[in-house]
A and B are shown apart, each in its own frame.
Chain A
Amino acid sequence: MSNKKYRILGLFSDFEEAFLAITDIKMNKVPGVSVDDVRLMSPIEHPEIEEILGERPAHVPKFTLAGACFGITFGFLFLASAQANFLVQPQGGKPVVPLPSNIVLTYEMLILFGVIFTVISFLILSGLIGGKKERLYSEKVGVDQIGVILELDENTYEPTKALFKQHKVLEIREEVIK
């Protein structure tokens, strides 16, 4: 019955203890548990912990760039073609496609699409839209506690809990996945 799997959430009141716990995991105190499996829940963002957790990707900026580029090209082409097709406007010795005003408007379009792309990509990449949520969640995280989530099997289950206890975990929630 070694195929039993658990998911545990350890809630630490003290940021430093949680930090040390993760450090221990990273140091393979518990064989078979890799730091890459560790997921955090925290009331604020903790850049330090993320150092420990290792570089995890955040792709938002790429989308931002895409958005901005789209904004520029679409914006300008849209304006220019609209002007070139506006059959009444261009008369009286004025340019059909006046650069100065188009620059202004293109600039706005750049920002608009930049923002939109950024936000959408954020919502998707951070799993707020469509992403699956953590099943184990505690309101405490919203207050002042830090949660560490791990998927464990028979062998790693106990030692990890021990490790958590050793680091003064306040509470451990767990559930059995299959």
Chain B
Amino acid sequence: MKHVSEKDINEEIKWAQINTDILQSLQNPRKAYWVAVAVCIAMLACAVVAEVYQYQNGLGVADLNRPHMWGLYIATFIFWIGMSHSGTLLSAILHIVHADWRKPIYRFAEAMTTFSLMTAGFFPMIHLGRMWNLYWVIPYVTDRGIWPNFRSPLVWDAFAITTYLTSSAVFLFIGMIPDLAICRDNSTGWRKKLYSVLSLGWQGTDRQWRNFRKTYMLMACFLIPLAVSVHSIVSSDFAMSIMPGWHVTSFPPYFVAGALYSGCASIITLFIILRYFFRWEEYMTMAIHEKICKLTFAIAMVWTYLNLVEFGATWYGHDPVAKEVLISKFVGPFAPFFWAMLFFGSVLPFALAFEKSRRNLPWMFVVSLLLNVGMWLERWMIVGPTLSHAYGPESWNFLWPSIVQWAIVFGSFGWFGLLFLIFVKVVPAVSMYEVKEMVFHRRREANPELAAQFHRRITDAQSVTAKPGIEGA
């Protein structure tokens, strides 16, 4: 089939149709849904058990050691933070550049942002030796006269993540209000009550729309620099240290690229899932799929490039220690994971470059998952090897994470999945009103003669009024 003629969306589609199609995703779930929920809860349970065990016995059970003070927790933390960037990319950046094909898919991407942040937030706590004292990181007035250390990148993290979580959650909510109103109008019982509260009595009056548009644009403008700053700050956890392989200038862009990369990959995953289960072929069309894939591919190449930059800088720079770390990544104990990361991160994306494989959704599903595996490995490869091969030869060591670490990492996916499952059943995962806008404007563009005719009628109407004498008659 030729896809060039293919449209992002069929603009002839009726608005009422849109409502019904989207709202059917809120109907009572099928069995498969409950199975999925059960699985997620089971995964989460593993993490909870592991965490309780660790809480009681100390971090020794995680097989952390000297010098491996950081392990999978921090790696996974970065992974989830990274995942969160895709939502911002789609809803904010593409909104500002008026790429309207984002409209059918940005909603769940944004939800993903919020939820992955909610997941990421757990890891710094889990990783703390005394998490019950976590609140000491918050600057609050006390007669003890002590404050957090604002120099520490970890405190920056705390600030950045709080800000990002707040902003993205608010952004998500604001964007949902009109749809929530629709839900309110079409629901009964507890859902009616819920939506009436959530939709804040939205009626779609021009006043509301006017402020809405402005607000939405402003928020988008805030979110873009915020998202960038968040991951640069996370990267500064490493770049600000003096450890070989961490003390790298190119880390901030490298992290941001990686973040967008993993985010897009997971958008593809969810895109395919939603499209399949809710039969939203009408809205999540192949054309849009194509676009995301291309976008992902582009970002993958950026990421690869930054990787090479980092290697080159280290290799040609005169820091033998950093060089050793680099070499240890290639030939050392981490080599298998490192090569896997390079393959998934830089080679596999070429599957997105070719139309044939791009259009094969099951295959794309697998690929997108593997890309995420690659990105997770990337984070581990940032944390691990440097700690293994730092300055003091005495402390060279290797860490294989214990079952506890694995369980908690595993469980975090369950937690994320659970949140997402609840989300798709409670609010429409596709923005109805924006799809309507999309359709509306597309139709205009699609048949110009209609628009011309309409324009003629307006001018007529106004010319009529040009005749004098009617006023006040």
Contacts and interface: CB of A to CB of B under 8 A. Distances in A.
Do any beta carbons of A and B sit within 8 angstroms of each other in the complex? yes
Interface of A: 15-16, 19-20, 23-24, 26-29, 31, 39-46, 49-50, 53, 56, 58, 60-61, 64, 78-79, 82-83, 85-89, 94, 98, 101-102, 104-105, 107-109, 111-112, 114-116, 118-119, 122-123, 125-129, 133-134, 137, 139, 141-144
A133 B211 contact: no
Nearest to B181: A142
B55 interface: no
A28 B209 contact: no
A142 B200 contact: no
Given A27-B461, A128-B200, A42 B471 contact: no
Contacts of A108: 156, 159-160, 163, 226, 229
B211 A125 contact: yes
B147 interface: yes
B212 interface: yes
Contacts of A61: 214, 218
5 contacts: A44-B434, A44-B437, A86-B146, A115-B171, A142-B204
A41 B205 contact: yes
> Could you tell me the dominant secondary structure of chain A's interface residues?
helix
Nearest to A48: B458
Interface in B172-201: 174, 177-178, 181-182, 185-186, 200-201
Nearest to B160: A108
Across the A-B interface, the 6 shortest Cβ-Cβ residue pairs: A27-B465, A144-B15, A139-B185, A126-B211, A122-B215, A45-B209
Interface of B: 14-16, 19, 139, 145-147, 149-151, 155-156, 159-160, 162-163, 166-167, 170-171, 174, 177-178, 181-182, 185-186, 200-215, 218-219, 222, 225-226, 229, 233, 433-434, 436-437, 440, 454, 457-458, 461-462, 464-465, 470-473
A138 to B, nearest CB: 9
> Could you tell me the dominant secondary structure of chain B's interface residues?
helix
Contacts of A58: 210-211, 213-214
Contacts of A79: 150
A78 B148 CA distance: 12
A20 B458 contact: yes
A152 to B, nearest CB: 18
Given A23-B461, A53-B206, A116 B166 contact: yes
A128 B226 contact: no
A129 to B, nearest CB: 7
Given A78-B139, A143-B15, A44 B436 contact: yes
Nearest to B215: A122
Contacts of A143: 15-16, 19, 182
Contacts of B171: 115
Nearest to B208: A126
Contact of B185 (A102, A111, A142, A144): A142
Given A44-B209, A112-B167, 17 more contacts: A20-B461, A23-B462, A39-B207, A44-B437, A58-B210, A60-B218, A61-B214, A61-B218, A86-B145, A87-B145, A94-B151, A98-B150, A98-B151, A118-B219, A129-B200, A139-B186, A141-B204
A40 B156 CA distance: 46
A111 B177 contact: no
A137 B160 contact: no
Contacts of A118: 215, 218-219, 222
A28 B471 contact: yes
B222 A123 contact: no
A132 B385 CA distance: 61
B48 to A, nearest CB: 31
